[in-house]
A and B are shown apart, each in its own frame.
Chain A
Amino acid sequence: MTDDERFGAFTLEELSDYLDSGRDPVRPEIDGDPEARAALGRLESLRTASRDLLDADASGADDSWITGVLTSIRTTAHAGRDIPVPDDDPASTLVVTEGALRGLVRALGDDVPGLVVRRTRFTGDVTVPGGAVDVEVTVAVTADGPVHDRTEALHVAVAAVLEAHAPFAVRTVVVRVADLIDPGAA
């Protein structure tokens, strides 16, 4: 299994995000996809098994070790591609994971009322140090207010934050509204 593999119409990253959200808001397109549903079940089992194994095996071990391992599992499940940082030292490899940047964009979405980031895609020279990259953020919004103001707020925030944190050159940022959701869900 590779991290880019698709299960039905969805990547592991999308399914993982969906699990993280507690399947809320519900995404019928995922729940209705048999392959995606089966993969969701396996991912869920993996998370439960990891926790159970750690509980059983690590009782008595120090808390920081357990916390570190659990965080390591969580971030591994979200890592995506390694995005290299341009650097002159041939003995060094400096990397930001795609998952770290996606998490950052998701957190920016949480700061915008009535908006949920569903997916963030980086395309272009992502694995080339300093390469040019297009960013597409797919969101769902509530229909109880102007959509443009919120997507524009997210657009500005994403551009600013990636300028500060991404090791690539941001070529474009597109915020795409894919869905309208119940105001209580965002």
Chain B
Amino acid sequence: MTTDTRKLSRRLTEVALAVPGVRSVLPPGPKLATLVRDVRTVLDLPRDGGAVLVQDLPEGARVRVVVTSDRGVPTVALLRSVRDAVVRGTVEALGQRPADVTVRVVEID
């Protein structure tokens, strides 16, 4: 993968936010146990990238998306829509599908 991961992160954050029913896109947080052990880990989250985590791995791009959503939109359908949008966005930017995509809904308002 040759694209700047931070640039792609910003693009995929915009893509995810554009999906109907997505209220916000959050930086993936550490696990609670990690947070309790070392609260400073949250400060390691990148600031100049988008909220979507994009990692450049030998097998391809790994993409992690965390969203909060609107309760007016069914969550399962929303998850698939976000996944499809992020895959499309990655293909447009990299010319290939991401090797791994995780989409997580953490709050439904």
Residues of A within 8 A of B (CB): 1-3, 12, 42, 46, 49-50, 53-54, 57-58, 61-62, 65, 68-69, 71-73, 75-79, 82, 85, 87, 89, 91-97, 99-101, 103-104, 107, 161, 164-167
Contact = CB atoms under 8 A, between A and B. Distances in A.
Given A54-B42, A71-B107, A82-B104, 8 more contacts: A68-B26, A75-B107, A94-B103, A95-B105, A96-B76, A96-B108, A97-B105, A103-B107
A11 to B, nearest CB: 12
Contacts of A95: 79, 102-105
Contacts of B98: 91
Across the A-B interface, give the 10 residue pairs with the lowest CB-CB distance, nearest first.
A72-B29, A75-B106, A76-B29, A165-B75, A94-B79, A93-B102, A95-B104, A72-B26, A1-B33, A104-B108
Contacts of A49: 39
User: Which label, helix, strand, loop or mixed, suits the secondary structure of the B interface?
Assistant: mixed
B11 interface: no
B94 interface: no
Contacts of A161: 71
Nearest to A58: B43
A76 B32 contact: yes
B68 interface: yes
Interface of B: 24-33, 35-37, 39-40, 42-43, 45, 47, 51, 66, 68, 71, 74-76, 79-80, 83, 97-109
A85 B74 CA distance: 12
A97 B26 CA distance: 14
A97 B106 contact: yes
B76 A167 contact: yes
A75 B24 CA distance: 12
Contacts of A72: 26-29, 42, 45, 66
A168 to B, nearest CB: 10
B79 A165 contact: no
Contacts of A46: 35-36, 39
A101 B83 contact: no
A99 B103 contact: no
